[in-house]
């Protein structure tokens, strides 16, 4: 009986990932001419999103022109069957005080499927992709993954650093 439930759970988890597109994460690297820091842009056309990573932070990036003009493109990400996470414009980077990006990335590191949705005026865009090697690509880009494991808020981290 336990074996039947375990097998059913495995098959169910495979079916959640089966709807996602193949692994298509691509990395482009460049050196910032002002800071000489390496920067990575990790993109997936299936996920319809990119992640910008350097040694200091990880940021979620959409192709929406709408968000660049002061609007909010309403980015939401959903990992596996977890509740969708709304990521505010200020919360897109792990270097900001909001927790949106950090919470989403923590789920990405343990998940298998990433779905996205955002407004690209005048319509909505959405994506559905396997997470597959995204955590490894972020690590290869030198992103500050150890900081993501710290569950304290950014304010608590800074307060502890200044004591």
For residue 94, the model assigns a pLDDT of 86
Q: For residue 129, give the DSSP letter.
A: E
Q: Is residue 110 part of a domain?
A: yes
How many domains does one find in the chain? 1
Q: Of the given ranges (10-14, 26-30, 72-76, 103-107), which has the lowest mean pLDDT?
A: 10-14
CA–CA separation, 18 and 95 (whole Å): 33
**Residues 14-51: tens digit of each pLDDT:** 444 445 567 999 999 999 899 898 899 999 999 999 99
CB 130 within 8 A of CB 112: yes
CB 87 within 8 A of CB 104: yes
Q: Is residue 97 part of a domain?
A: yes
pTM of the model: 0.76
Please give the residue range of the domain that contains residue 133: 24-154
Q: Is residue 106 part of a domain?
A: yes
Q: Is residue 14 part of a domain?
A: no
| Paired strand residues for 50 | 43, 61
């Amino acid at each position: 009986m336990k074996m039947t439930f375990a097998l059913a759970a495995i098959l169910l988890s495979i079916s959640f990932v089966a709807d996602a597109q193949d692994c298509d994460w691509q990395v482009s690297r460049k050196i910032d001419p002002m800071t000489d820091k390496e920067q990575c842009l990790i993109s997936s056309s299936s996920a319809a999103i990119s992640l910008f990573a350097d040694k200091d932070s990880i940021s979620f990036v959409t192709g929406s022109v709408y968000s660049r003009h002061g609007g909010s493109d309403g980015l939401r990400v959903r990992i596996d069957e977890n509740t969708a996470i709304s990521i505010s414009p200020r919360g897109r980077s792990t270097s900001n005080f909001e927790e949106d990006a950090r919470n989403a990335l923590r789920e990405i590191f343990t998940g298998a499927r990433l779905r996205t949705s955002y407004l690209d005026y005048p319509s909505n865009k959405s994506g559905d992709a396997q997470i597959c090697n995204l955590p490894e690509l972020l690590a290869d880009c030198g992103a500050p993954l150890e900081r993501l494991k710290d569950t304290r808020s950014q304010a608590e981290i800074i307060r502890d650093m200044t004591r």
